[in-house]
Structure 1
Amino acid sequence: MLPVGLPNFSPLIRPSFNSSCTDSKLAFSDTPSFTSQFYEAYTGVDKKVSALLRQIPWTHHLIILGQTKRPEEREFYLQLVAREKWSSRQLERQLKLALFERAVAQPPKVSAALRQAHPEAISALRDTYVLEFLGLPAGHSEADLHAGLLNRLREFLIELGRDFCFVGSEFPVQVGGRDFALDLLFFHRGLNCLVAIELEVGRFEPEYLGKLTFYVEALDRDVRKSHENPPIGVLLCASKDDEVVEYALSRTASPTLIAEYQTQLPDKALLQAKLHEFWLAGGSEDNT
């Protein structure tokens, strides 16, 4: 029997399954032990989390409860599943990629202008994007990266986030009678703005920011429509030094982000250790 006084999650906990269902995970979910685990995890949650619980497919609950440890980690993934509409496979991928640990311990490196123009963009952008699905070799070129992203555009859009819409590749920009080409151009529906992405297969260098700023300004003056918010620029590099990035962004007046891409799965144990150190040092836990 379930403990007295717990919130009524019965409709969630005991969905009706076809009697012929043989999925071991679903079968396990209907056992008293899992029911108790669900109640223990979500007893006393606030209304926001309670509402999320009713939006999430049952298989996603199984995955989240089975692979998370902290309440804020569970809420983080509940929010993202509801927002991004991930499939169970996509959710398992993000858990494997330690998205929660990365989001908390490695927040996105953005300019003050971006924070001011798009304060909500912090939750829509990331410090690191994992592109293991491209299968790129260690010595890949920018052309390899660019072509790979176009060939696997669906996976790249999922990694970027649900509100990103592809606009074009090598998007033409004309300034002063000269022709330029922006690597990738997207539109973010939630932010209602264009997002320019420039690719660099090496380490971030401060001079790269000038080129990105130029493209963002050109988009703002010549491409942006009157009902849209100012565009954002994202520089996607193979690696970066956070101190160099901080210096480079400190005086720029352009809404920009310096991010890193990885072609291999991150070391989740290392990220969990960094997160533990972050919290011991007094870091905020509210970074979802």
Structure 2
Amino acid sequence: MAKRPHSSDSVESSFAEVVGLIEQARQRAYQAVNSELVGLYWRIGEYISAKLAAAVWGEGVVDSLAQHLARTMPGQRGFTRRNLFRMRQFFEAYSTADKDVTALLTQLPWTHNLIILTQSKRPEERDFYLRLAVQEKWTSRELERQYSLGTFERAVLSPAKVSAALTQMHGAAAGAAFKDAYSVEFLNLQAGHTEADLHSGLLGQLRTFLIELGRDFCFVGSEFPVQVGGRDFALDLLFFHRGLNCLVAIELKVDRFEPEHLGKLNFYLEALDRDVRKPHENPAIGVLLCASKDSEVVEYALSRSLSPALVAQYQTQLPDKQMLAAKLHEFYALNAPGPDIASGSPAGQPLPRKKGTKP
């Protein structure tokens, strides 16, 4: 009996499945190798730390170790004097950390771990960036950008201000999903820019904007059409948030927030819930993205709002890191100990610790 010929589409689909299997295996292999490598650096750091702490070694012995490794293992890179001391610093920084924190270390490349280790000034800052880097799957370049943006400082000093309805609907997840300010410095907007400039710039840099919004945001449409009572309206930007399982409407304002802006946003949210939302989805959330805002005016405006909404500011320039650091220092002086803003942890493999402190 003659075999039925396969269509080219069917064959291509089969090939794509095989490619997918290969790529998945590669990714698992990379993760396994990375986990073992970071674990190795941890164990070397632990060994050096113990020798130095017990005064068995002086720092000069670490120099000799680096030279010995270079001679006996010429093909192995990364074991210079500087890196060996980095491994010691790495171990000592996390040796007393919680198990859910050390579990994150093996999920990030060594380059990411070094950035977090060297640029963080306090343990809670390290925890914050560890969790977000794993959750958002940032590249090393994006991780460095988040440091330059002062993401940790801003999260502590200015948490997202959301309506009571949004908090009631999603709890703490609402605050974690949104920011009080979004940085759009990558648009290079000039003073006096228009709403059209902002809108077209965000669309042109959509990939970067999605990274700034967060990994759970998916783009749905621009100037999304909404029809009510025979009239046509256009919503600036529409997204879907996978974690909150809802549509997110973003309205752009290139001037200061005014309370009346919420009226139009509430109208759009009602239209989305009635005519666009799927039965299994949660009610839509609205975000007013403004050039500036007065926190007290925002609080008053949101206090009586029955809609799940928030008001955020977009920033066209990188923040003054020294000013943020000074404000953060003042905050901790007044509110010690610091708030636990780095909660929740993806599953991972915890690293071993000193005897008696194993998780």
Alignment pair present for 1:167 and 2:220? yes
- When structure 1 is superposed on structure 2, of 70-79 and 175-184 the one drifting more is 175-184
The alignment partner of 1:265 has SS state of coil
Q: Which digits, 9 at most, give the CA deviation of each residue in 1:195-234, with x for residues without a partner?
A: 0000000010110011111111111111110111111100
| 2:271 maps to which of 218, 227, 230 | 218
| 1:103 maps to which of 155, 159, 164 | 155
CA distance, structure 1, for counterparts of residue 186 and residue 81 of structure 2 = 31
CA distance, structure 2, for counterparts of residue 185 and residue 112 of structure 1 = 22
The alignment partner of 1:143 has SS state of helix
1:59-78 mapped onto 2 (5 Å cutoff) = 59-78=111-130
Gaps of 5+ in 2: 1-37, 45-72, 343-359
CA distance, structure 2, for counterparts of residue 242 and residue 184 of structure 1 = 24
The alignment partner of 1:129 has SS state of strand
TM-score (norm 1): 0.91
Q: Which digits, 9 at most, give the CA deviation of each residue in 1:94-130, with x for residues without a partner?
A: 0011000000100001100010112212111100000
CA distance, structure 2, for counterparts of residue 115 and residue 254 of structure 1 = 10
- Structure 1 residue 187: deviation in Å? 0.4
| 2:40 maps to which of 11, 34, 43 | 11
In the other structure, the counterpart of 2:108 is 56
Q: Structure 1 45/109 Cα, relative in aligned 2: closer, same or farther at 3 Å? A: same
1:1-288 mapped onto 2 (5 Å cutoff) = 10-13=39-42, 31-119=83-171, 120-282=173-335, 284-288=338-342
In the other structure, the counterpart of 1:4 is none
Q: Structure 1 285/28 Cα, relative in aligned 2: closer, same or farther at 3 Å? A: farther
Letter in 2 for 1:176: G
| Contact persistence 2:290–2:312 (CA under 8 A) | yes
Larger-Rg structure? 2
Q: Structure 1 139/269 Cα, relative in aligned 2: closer, same or farther at 3 Å? A: same
Structure 1 moving runs of 4+ over 2 Å: 9-15, 18-22, 26-32
| Contact persistence 1:29–1:62 (CA under 8 A) | no
| Contact persistence 1:206–1:245 (CA under 8 A) | yes
In the other structure, the counterpart of 1:3 is none
CA distance, structure 1, for counterparts of residue 297 and residue 261 of structure 2 = 12
Q: How many residues align?
A: 275
| Contact persistence 2:39–2:106 (CA under 8 A) | no
Letter in 2 for 1:117: M
- Say which structure is richer in helix: 2
Letter in 2 for 1:167: V
Q: Over the residues paired in the alignment, what is the CA RMSD in angstroms? A: 1.9
The alignment partner of 1:36 has SS state of helix
- Structure 1 residue 37: deviation in Å? 0.4
**How high is the sequence identity, in percent, across the aligned residues?**
67
